Structure 1
Amino acid sequence: MSLGFQATALVASPSCANAIAWSDENLLAVASGHLVSILNPAKLFGGARGLITVPASKPFHVGLIGKKDLLSSCLLPTCVSRDIRPCVRSISWSPIGFAPNASCLLALCTNEGRVKVYRMPFREFRVEWVEVMDISEMLYDYLKKANFEVSSISSNVSDTTEAGSDPEYTDDVPISQFMKANKKRKQKGLTVVAGAVKEKDSHRVPASEAKHSKAAARNSGLPLIAAEEYASRNAMLSLLTVAWSPYLQSACGGDIPSTDGSTNGCTVLAVGGKSGRLSFWRFRKPQCYYTQSGTDSNSAMLVGFLQAHDTWVTAITWTLQVSDASNPRVLLCTGSSDGSVKIWRACNRELQDSSDISHDSFSLLKEVTVIDYAPVSVLSVIVPLDSPRKTYLAIGKGSGSIDVLVCETPNNTFEKAGSYHGHNHIVTGLAWAFDGRCLYSCSQDNSLCSWIFMENSLRKVPFPSNTPAVKSSSDVPNAFDSCFGLAVSPGNLVLAVVHGYDVELLNPMYEARACKAAVAFRWIGGQHLDTFSDILPDCDFESFPGLSNREMISWENNIMWSLRQCEHLEKAVVVWDVIAALSAFNESDHKYVERVLLKWLAYIFRSQSSISTILSEASRHLPRIASRVLQLLNIITSQVALKKPEADKTISKQRDDAEEEEMMMWMQLRSNVEKELRERLVGFSLSVISSLVSNSNENNGHKEFGCWTPIGSAQMEKWVDLNRANVNEHLKLLAEKVGRTKKRKLRSICEYKTEEECNFCSASVPLDSPENAFCRGEKTDAGTGPSHKLLRCAVSMRVCLPTPSWHCVCCKRSASQLVPLALFTLPEYPSDFESFVGRCAHEKPVKPLCPFCGILLQRLQPEFLLSPSPV
């Protein structure tokens, strides 16, 4: 198997299926032994990594059993268990926006049955990720209160409290001290503490077994239970797999505050275990995001249980059904060790609002017939955007086979698309790509397969070649013998695969000691999909080595598809793989990149002219373009079109002049796009201020609770006045209307400040540019002091405070204030901002997004710490 275009080594070997996961913010989590490595695929070489070290956990106290029950068959799995070191067996990323800095949370499950949730250390300045909560501890607290009664936990969970440890059970004695204390007391019977079995006194006479067993129970504070009861309790706490649901929100698409001040938007973490039961934990989005001080406000609520299977739950996956916009539903797919797969459906609103979710909340839609009884290892499900009434489910099994199921809504009819034997060993990874047109699979036998899904059937196809090459790694040997999972990038152009090494093929002097496992990255942007037939005429790509015309055309179509997917507002803007591919092509074939950009510009501006004509006429069409498309255009322009490759010495002077002219046109396009976005931002902010002024007159000056109040209105008025010759007439009138408002009233509504002072001296700071500022220098007896350079907030144009603020890794701007989502949903430049604002005037920002790039803002981190790179 080829290495791919880049690879990176891991310090521990993976040991579970689905050992890799790609987050919505472009971070990779890889489970390898007792470690979880978090990687930035854009900075693998010399870049920073995140790390989660899973410690050995204190066992749970579930009860005592007598010596006579030691040889019970139900205790055999407990007695033969020999897990010496904790190992991660399942990982899952939450949707974006649930960490305190609006990033993703990471949930992991260990072989000890522990489930924990972690976040990025964005304010701690360390490599080790921060533990947010221990789900297994919370589950144990609840089960102990319910006395492990199945009848109680299967239907009634209304008294579940928010996340947090119960102080009644926080002072458990370490297992070593517990055993020593029992040994000193010479108690009779067996002490069972979360799987630890120890015989206390084998020389006692059998007649007194019951007496001493009861005494041991009284002294330890644990109940004396039967072997079957212990096995049942142990299975309840033996967790195996985790999976986050998609982002669940109201039918209208917004986050509406509830009575307790929280928003309806949430995600649900499903946890499956050996008992066949699933527990569901609801996580609310934080009410606000921050870059520095503050406590983790994330809370999880146990909202229900579901007895999904009779044996171990080995795989879980979620997806949304978007066919019914008025009543959106979520699908839950579960797989078991007996080979059964079940598909459940629940209403989004019940998962968001209810505090008492019983078994009836999930209705069983389909149970897949078991044929070979091979355990289910992985599941992958997708609802194609092009066919929202269909759901594709891929099932990977321990036998190496792959089953595909197609569900049609709203009739909920199921059709089996077939069973395919692509591997000789357990399937360890499955991932849909290109909106369900392609499926990728891998196995522990080191096989990696690519499938095309057409007409409800899979067809095995070869992988595309791995060019273009962005980077290469010579210190990662190609001596793999297994695959433990795969993941597809957010843009679907890159495939990441976790490999284990064949130690027999490694050099025993140094490779066998240093090389434990590796993550290999393969280009899949050249994957040929028969559904794409829009081939450009007269294509000739012979200048790019190693790729056929068919692959180049596939690259072009897939890049176009990826860019179009980013136009959907529910998707995070992550175009790292698109930019990486175009940048690599640009080094060898600039004309090919120009052809791709021409096709994209023609799609945006609805024009079939040449690229120079489109660029020269683009400024007239920008007001009719959606804000998200303008942000994508700004990113591609700055990161691709204006990144000129090394000049070819054989190019003539005339060719250089033509390229220089085209480069100037791209620069002008970027300037016009940013000006258009700036006008929309200023117009939106001033309209909100005007609406607040009107509401204050009607409400006697009282501001409505939860209202977003923009700052910097004085700076915005000044900016409009400085650019009167180039801004929209409606924006001029709006600025004049706000300017006529009494300053005292403005100060009572928002922070109004006409004169700004330097953060380092008392000198004044004029508004010369919306990006940067220079103070006039402090005047002293010795003259005028030095002038300090300051950053301005990209949203308010106010001078940023010296405290850490939000940072855009694409346009390098800073922001101390956030903008509501309504600004990003503008389909065009509004003819009347005040009529558009309406209810949006009272909408709080839901995510820290850059108004010029649309990507997630983050705290600026030093180079030695991990940070996402969506571009």
Structure 2
Amino acid sequence: MVASRFQAASLVGAPSCPNAIAWSDENLIAVASGHIVTILNPASPIEPRGTIAVPTGKHYPIGRVEKEGLLSGDLLPTALSRDRKPCARSIAWSSLGMSPNYGCLLAVCTFEGCVRVFRPPFCDYSTNWVEVADISDMLYDHLAKMNFVEIDISTSEIPSNGVSKGKSAEDDLPNSPTCKIFKPVVLKQYKRRRVTVVTEINSPADSLEQHISEPRHAEITSSRPTHLSILDSKTSRKTKLTKLGKNKMGSCTFPLLTSKEYAACSALLSSLVVTWSPLLCSPSNRSFPSSDDPVKKYSILAVGGKSGKISFWRISAPQCYSIEHSKAPTGVMFLGLLQAHTSWVTAVSLELLISNSDPQVVMVTGSTDGSVKLWVGNVEELSKLSKASKVGPFVLVKEVVHENIVPISVLSVVLPAQPVDKMLIAVGKGSGSFEIWTCDTSNFKLDKAGCHDAHVYAVTGLCWSSDGLSLYSCGQDNYLRSWILRGECLSEVPILSNFPGQTGSHEVPDALLSCLGVVASPGNLMVAMGSKGYWESNILLSLKQYEDPYKPLVVWDILTALLIFKDSVPKYVDYLLGRWLSTTFLDGQHSDYLPLGEVLTLSSKSFSEVPSRLLHLLNIMTRRIILSEMKAEELNSSVTTDTASVRHETVELGLQTLLGSERELRERLVGLSFAAFSSGSHSAATSSSQPESWSPLGVMQMEQWVVSNHAHVRNQLKVLASEVRKHTRIGGDSNAAKEQCMLCTASIPFESPEHATCQGAESIKGDMEKHEVHRCAVSMQVCPASPSWFCICCRRKVHKLAPEYLFKMSRFPTDFSSWKEASIAEKSSRPFCPFCGILLQRMLPDFLQSAQPV
């Protein structure tokens, strides 16, 4: 908990690029700090919890240039960039579920133009993140195979209002009236890697130029040999064909290129910005986007470069999740190159648009030529692509070009829930100003909502809140500003608010003297360098958005704010929780304010009619706010035994509420297990013939739990338990419920679903030595010796994951057919806690990185 609104985190290096900070869906902060990407836990940002050492970029064999061309204007920036130390330029988090542990992947782009993808470490005592994909290597392999295809566009073919003024040498595009191609020459490198470079022959321009010149169509280059145009205004074809020099690297022979040719090829390999799409599903799944089958899930990684092109990579989500090791390598597939702009691509944003028709991916791009473009890609086409396509699924729908061309530095795009069919686009510029555009997603009509000269120097960060009502901006002028959107009017508001513990109105840390990015927390209550006002409405709105069972449950910022308020104004916290419970659990039936204790009592009577997601939220709020003084182990023991000696009425009511809510979830989980066991008990081949169906474990332990809680469980559960009892008698496995201790092989009786104690074995001293072990929160079986999933909220361990349907249940099923249908239809895929609904993770030492969604 924080006494001050600002906390400073120590970084190894200084950030040096716009958008140098990113906040993940699993509540981790990544900062591009020089040659190190620092991973921070916002709950305790004092010390880094993970690091990525930015690797030195590779020098790919393109060709060779004569000495007099090395110091030309074309190659001078390239020569100088090779003296630069490795440094992170752009970072981006993927959606939740892309990492083997169901976390997020991190894409890192360096100043040398190299892109790599990293995942969290699995080793208990390692803070170094692990590389899973080298995008630059794969891009080079593709370009070498396709002979470094690049289309020549003469000056007359580029719209006059799209030409960038004051460009650097590397911005120059090929400008030849004819189109030439390079003939591949296969080389053998000293690393025994097959590489293709090119020699030049003449060829007329083909139809690809026409695709580029038409502004409403996007062209994606194919992996097949295609035409490449390189500017050559000084040397004739006859002279160049005889001008192939030799540069020995083993048996390698590199073609002789002009400085412009080399710069054009190098620009194709020089990346500038990376971004991820939301998690997408294949079209075969009719329940899009509610399905969470990892076999059919993927994300698109978009990489913008100096050539004006964007490369697209489809990265598949893991087929299964693990906290020990990755069972399969990360699946990466190159989809193609899109000629998006005529100059450097400096900003890219991808959003998922769900409409009545097929889902679409909306892409917004910005460039140093001052243009902003909107593209639309069909999710079904993206899913069907099996190789790089010549005509890709992205189509240009809108383009904004200004007369006074100013480079675009950053973009921020949001699709708020209300109003429907509206997208908000904030465009930051190198001049220090930013523009706000509203887009009608039904017809992609753009309307300019305003332009603001917010900063003196370049805008380095823009961040919308999820509801689209607030915007944060920061710039190189060392200012962080907050804005409120009311209708079509954007107004600045003070960023300092009435946060308890604030010592004064000018409490701004020195870290803001180098403001190179701003990001919002998953709950949109906090930003990396500031806090949000209007606490009552914002907290209630943040809790409201988490009622969607498909939104990752990350409420750290909500809990942090409430805990700070609880220390200073506890009555205000009781009021907020009472408002939220009245709205969600009582359907707003009581317009007058009711005390929290009374609301808790009334809410407990409606648990069977409440969705599982609301029960998960209630459990988190009860544990971390109402019962914050009690430890998780003490709460688990109190909830299990239904006995507690407490002093305060609110605490006692909180315990009773937690008892009822967790019992409701446990009954739903036990019912699903019984129904799945009864449905598949007569078919030994069920698991093999239906690999996507969920198979339960520990039904014998669950049956014993029903017997011991016979007075409390529902009649439907008793009926399901009797069905299980019949099948177990037919199977004749009467010892299925007996378990043995892994340390002494003594038997372990079933006494509690939380913990277990073996009956013990006689020690050397002659006394009985007993061992305490944990039980799986899902199966109630004793957890094996291998690492188990761990819930950071309720401190329980999980070895067998809960079925998907548990997290989507809208109420307690009332008939046996509903139980059977639900248990067969869903599989276990996402590692979420059955009682808290948050992401499970591996239990790590305190000094290592660990995401804290609560």
If the length of structure 2 is used for normalisation, what is the TM-score? 0.83
CA displacement 1:185-214 (0-9 Å, x = unmatched): xxxxxxxxxxxxxxxxxxxxxxx9997852
Query: What residue is the counterpart of 1:760 in the other structure?
Result: 743
Partner of 1:371, secondary structure, is coil
Partner of 2:61, secondary structure, is coil
Query: What residue is the counterpart of 2:610 in the other structure?
Result: 625
Are residues 1:593 and 2:573 paired? yes
Are residues 1:269 and 2:271 paired? no
1:205-216 equivalences in 2 (<5 Å): 214-216=245-247
| 8 Å CA contact retained: 1:217, 1:224 | no
Query: What residue is the counterpart of 1:19 in the other structure?
Result: 20
**768-777 vs 478-487, greater mean Cα deviation:** 478-487
Query: What residue is the counterpart of 1:523 in the other structure?
Result: 531
Distance in 2 between residues matched to 1:43 and 1:233, nearest whole Å: 45
Query: What residue is the counterpart of 2:656 in the other structure?
Result: 668
Q: Which amino acid aligns with 2:675?
A: S
Partner of 1:150, secondary structure, is coil
Report the CA distance shift for 1:742/1:127 in structure 2 as closer, same or farther (over 3 A): closer
| 8 Å CA contact retained: 1:141, 1:169 | no
Report the CA distance shift for 1:335/1:633 in structure 2 as closer, same or farther (over 3 A): same
- Structure 1 residue 562: Cα displacement: 0.8
Distance in 1 between residues matched to 2:535 and 2:659, nearest whole Å: 29
| 8 Å CA contact retained: 1:394, 1:405 | yes
- Structure 1 residue 322: Cα displacement: 2.0
| 8 Å CA contact retained: 2:122, 2:325 | no
Partner of 2:565, secondary structure, is helix
Distance in 2 between residues matched to 1:700 and 1:488, nearest whole Å: 46
Report the CA distance shift for 1:243/1:53 in structure 2 as closer, same or farther (over 3 A): same
1:242-641 equivalences in 2 (<5 Å): 242-249=274-281, 250=285, 252-253=287-288, 263-295=295-327, 297-324=329-356, 326-356=357-387, 357-465=389-497, 467-469=499-501, 478=510, 480-497=512-529, 522-524=530-532, 526=533, 554-606=534-586, 607-608=589-590, 609-641=594-626
Q: Which amino acid aligns with 1:591?
A: K
Distance in 2 between residues matched to 1:826 and 1:724, nearest whole Å: 23
Report the CA distance shift for 1:253/1:209 in structure 2 as closer, same or farther (over 3 A): closer
Query: What residue is the counterpart of 1:60 in the other structure?
Result: 60
Are residues 1:31 and 2:32 paired? yes
Partner of 1:593, secondary structure, is helix
| 8 Å CA contact retained: 1:322, 1:388 | no
Distance in 2 between residues matched to 1:588 and 1:151, nearest whole Å: 65
Report the CA distance shift for 1:257/1:32 in structure 2 as closer, same or farther (over 3 A): closer
| 8 Å CA contact retained: 1:19, 1:485 | yes
Report the CA distance shift for 1:144/1:638 in structure 2 as closer, same or farther (over 3 A): same
Report the CA distance shift for 1:393/1:752 in structure 2 as closer, same or farther (over 3 A): farther
Query: What residue is the counterpart of 2:150 in the other structure?
Result: 150
Are residues 1:134 and 2:114 paired? no
**826-835 vs 630-639, greater mean Cα deviation:** 826-835
- Structure 1 residue 306: Cα displacement: 0.8
Query: What residue is the counterpart of 1:227 in the other structure?
Result: 259
CA displacement 1:61-80 (0-9 Å, x = unmatched): 11123346446543343245
- Structure 1 residue 244: Cα displacement: 0.5
Report the CA distance shift for 1:743/1:294 in structure 2 as closer, same or farther (over 3 A): farther
Distance in 1 between residues matched to 2:673 and 2:11, nearest whole Å: 48
**239-248 vs 611-620, greater mean Cα deviation:** 611-620
Partner of 1:7, secondary structure, is coil
- Structure 1 residue 818: Cα displacement: 0.8
Q: Which amino acid aligns with 1:826?
A: M
State which of 679, 695, 706 in structure 2 corresponds to 1:691.
Answer: 679
Are residues 1:41 and 2:49 paired? no
Are residues 1:789 and 2:772 paired? yes
Distance in 2 between residues matched to 1:598 and 1:378, nearest whole Å: 41
Report the CA distance shift for 1:169/1:240 in structure 2 as closer, same or farther (over 3 A): farther
Q: Which amino acid aligns with 1:171?
A: K
- Structure 1 residue 32: Cα displacement: 1.2
Distance in 1 between residues matched to 2:687 and 2:257, nearest whole Å: 66
CA displacement 1:703-728 (0-9 Å, x = unmatched): 42333211101011111111111001
Report the CA distance shift for 1:781/1:833 in structure 2 as closer, same or farther (over 3 A): farther
Query: What residue is the counterpart of 2:702 in the other structure?
Result: 716
Report the CA distance shift for 1:778/1:710 in structure 2 as closer, same or farther (over 3 A): same
Q: Which amino acid aligns with 2:545?
A: Q
| 8 Å CA contact retained: 1:406, 1:416 | yes
Partner of 1:486, secondary structure, is coil
- Structure 1 residue 465: Cα displacement: 2.0
Distance in 2 between residues matched to 1:303 and 1:417, nearest whole Å: 35
Partner of 1:41, secondary structure, is coil
Partner of 2:246, secondary structure, is helix
Distance in 2 between residues matched to 1:101 and 1:336, nearest whole Å: 36
Query: What residue is the counterpart of 1:516 in the other structure?
Result: none
Are residues 1:841 and 2:824 paired? yes
- Structure 1 residue 215: Cα displacement: 3.4
Distance in 1 between residues matched to 2:292 and 2:562, nearest whole Å: 42
Partner of 1:171, secondary structure, is coil
Report the CA distance shift for 1:810/1:869 in structure 2 as closer, same or farther (over 3 A): same
Query: What residue is the counterpart of 1:200 in the other structure?
Result: none
Q: Which runs of 5+ in 2 are unaligned?
A: 153-185, 194-238, 631-644
Query: What residue is the counterpart of 2:172 in the other structure?
Result: none
Distance in 2 between residues matched to 1:36 and 1:23, nearest whole Å: 14
Distance in 1 between residues matched to 2:187 and 2:558, nearest whole Å: 51
Q: Which amino acid aligns with 1:825?
A: K
CA displacement 1:221-255 (0-9 Å, x = unmatched): 32333433222210100111100011112551368
Are residues 1:801 and 2:821 paired? no
Are residues 1:171 and 2:191 paired? yes
- Structure 1 residue 269: Cα displacement: 0.3
- Structure 1 residue 480: Cα displacement: 4.6
Q: Which amino acid aligns with 1:374?
A: V
Report the CA distance shift for 1:328/1:830 in structure 2 as closer, same or farther (over 3 A): same
Partner of 2:311, secondary structure, is strand
- Structure 1 residue 170: Cα displacement: 8.3
Q: Which amino acid aligns with 2:517?
A: G
State which of 801, 809, 826 in structure 1 corresponds to 2:809.
Answer: 826
- Structure 1 residue 142: Cα displacement: 1.3
Q: Which amino acid aligns with 1:343?
A: L
| 8 Å CA contact retained: 2:464, 2:471 | yes
Partner of 1:684, secondary structure, is helix
Partner of 2:664, secondary structure, is helix
- Structure 1 residue 368: Cα displacement: 1.0
Distance in 1 between residues matched to 2:523 and 2:831, nearest whole Å: 21
CA displacement 1:379-433 (0-9 Å, x = unmatched): 0001011223101010000011111111112122211112111111100000001
- Structure 1 residue 781: Cα displacement: 9.5
Give the CA RMSD over aligned residues: 3.0
Distance in 2 between residues matched to 1:471 and 1:830, nearest whole Å: 52
Query: What residue is the counterpart of 1:89 in the other structure?
Result: 89
Report the CA distance shift for 1:355/1:470 in structure 2 as closer, same or farther (over 3 A): farther
CA displacement 1:76-115 (0-9 Å, x = unmatched): 4324546421111100000011111111000010011100
| 8 Å CA contact retained: 1:569, 1:628 | yes
Distance in 1 between residues matched to 2:502 and 2:557, nearest whole Å: 10
| 8 Å CA contact retained: 1:328, 1:348 | yes
Distance in 1 between residues matched to 2:451 and 2:430, nearest whole Å: 13
Q: Which amino acid aligns with 1:848?
A: P
- Structure 1 residue 11: Cα displacement: 2.2
Report the CA distance shift for 1:209/1:288 in structure 2 as closer, same or farther (over 3 A): closer
| 8 Å CA contact retained: 1:777, 1:784 | no
Distance in 1 between residues matched to 2:828 and 2:402, nearest whole Å: 48
CA displacement 1:847-870 (0-9 Å, x = unmatched): 100010000000000112110011
